[in-house]
A and B are shown apart, each in its own frame.
With several copies, the nearest count.
Chain A
Amino acid sequence: MSAEQQNAEPQIGWTREQMAQRVAVDIADGSYVNLGIGIPELIARYVPEGREFIYHTENGLLGMGPSPAEGEGEPELINAGKRRVTALPGASYFHHADSFSMIRGGHLDLCVLGALQVANNGDLANWSTGGPEAIPAVGGAMDLVAGVKAIYVVTQHCTKTGEPKLVEHCTFPLTGLGIVNRIYTDLAVIEVTSEGFQLVELAPGVDFEYVKERTGAPLLSMSESPTNATRA
């Protein structure tokens, strides 16, 4: 699909906010959650009625609350994206080694990250395009995917130029091997199973063929659900 086609298409599927909201629906009550930068940050706005999530930010805060009003807040109360946040009642501060002990030690239930590419074996590439001019920067992404119990990816289904981000093999440098459990895109919710990508839900107005065309690896339809479904 060329960039022109992409531009010509009407806006269909979920918006960024709807994608975030859709992810939130799948988070169990009482979960300890780390949200990556970008669309994942929006998830905090959509806690379903009757549930309580505790947000961890790897720079040293458990019990992170919403962003303060523009121009408010404190320069020393920030999240991993270096934006100002608040702390909720019951919060705690800790140093980086303790924070990553939470991550690496398997104490977080869920991490939601953005992606450059996800392979149908669960490999994730989200930190570098590998270009010679790029300054490599990894932050905590490799620690998160190595340690957190479940990894969800939320991303546009295709790149701005219309290339699929869900692929057979990642061509960008990897963040982790076989660690993605679910993918939420503007077009669909897709589970990464032992048999590859498995459609879970379509965005309103989107059909299976439309998603399949824009996916760079085989996509199982909802009726093709393998017996050995969910990874991890």
Chain B
Amino acid sequence: MIDKRVASCAQALEGVFDGATVMIGGFGEAGSPIELIHALIDQGSTDLTVVNNNTGSGEVGLAALIQAGRVAKMICSYPRTTNSTVFPKLYHSGKTKLELVPQGTLAERIRAGGAGIPAFYTPTSVGTPLAEGKEHRTIDGREYVLEYGLRADFALIKGLQADRYGNVIYNKTARNFAPIMAMAGKVTVVQAAQVVDAGEMDPETVVTPGIFVNRVVHVANPAHESELVAKGLSYPPTEPS
């Protein structure tokens, strides 16, 4: 019987290695798989290349992973957000590198990676510093740049509901990068607030078919980043002195 459920976030992250490329879903806090990120901090692998639209906020979630010195490189479109104080420090110190990609190009590169498209042309960024050094091509009189598909060793995403086959549906704008990262991850891990029996989801409304998912872990009450930040929390939690 196919059963992709695993018992814990720790188990869901088995095999993440030093130097791995890890896609992490979410746009800001919406869709951020914060429990998986904290488990990744516990897990210990380092020198990671992380793909996420942003760089986290406060000292929890993605920001905490960066703060822990585990991210060698961020591939993202908008590393400058309210309460994003960790990344600037590591960026300026040269500890964390940045590959800045326009948001739509980032999304399309991830989708291409998952879809077996090695490269594509796009009009986005033509004439700007982000197109410098990239191959250009004129098609039907308009100029485009060549961009390459992106894949990842692991993709960590957050769903609202999942089943043992790995089918996933999402909550509102928390969907954002998750379906395409699920496609692009060699090992895709979903944390879901609800884990339901096979057949409970309407086949018409499944957003991520199970073929794109390798592991499902039940996280019943996922934290919201903004609430943790508002409370001034950090991860790992500071020991009471």
Question: Which A residues lie at the B interface, using CB under 8 A?
Answer: 29-30, 32, 52, 54, 56-63, 74-78, 82, 87-108, 123, 128, 133, 135-143, 146-147, 173-177
Contacts and interface: CB of A to CB of B under 8 A. Distances in A.
B116 A101 contact: yes
Contacts of A63: 165, 203
Nearest to A144: B104
Most chain B CB within 10 A, of A89, A92, A176, is at A92
B123 A104 contact: yes
Nearest to B1: A52
A-B pairs with lowest CB-CB distance, top 3: A89-B199, A100-B104, A143-B104
Given A58-B103, A93-B172, A95-B177, A104 B122 contact: yes
Given A105-B116, A136-B100, A147 B124 contact: yes
Interface in B1-28: 1-2, 27-28
Quick one: which of A77, A94, A141, A174 has the most chain B CB within 10 A? A94
A52 B81 contact: no
B180 interface: yes
Given A58-B103, A90-B199, A30 B2 contact: yes
A89 B210 CA distance: 12
B203 A93 contact: yes
B126 interface: yes
Interface in B191-214: 198-199, 201, 203-204, 206-207, 209-212
Interface string B76-91: 0111111000011001
Contacts of A101: 111, 114-116, 183
Nearest to A79: B173
Interface stretch (B37-45, B60-68, B127-135, B233-241): B127-135
A99 B107 contact: yes
A56 B210 CA distance: 11
Contact of B211 (A95, A108, A138, A147): A108
A62 B210 contact: yes
Contact of A174 (B128, B164, B211): B128
A95 to B, nearest CB: 4
Interface string B94-113: 00001011111111101101
A143 B123 CA distance: 8
Contact of A100 (B28, B78, B108, B125): B108
B100 A59 contact: no
Give the residue among B100, B107, B201 with the most A Cβ atoms within 10 A. B107
A60 B102 contact: no
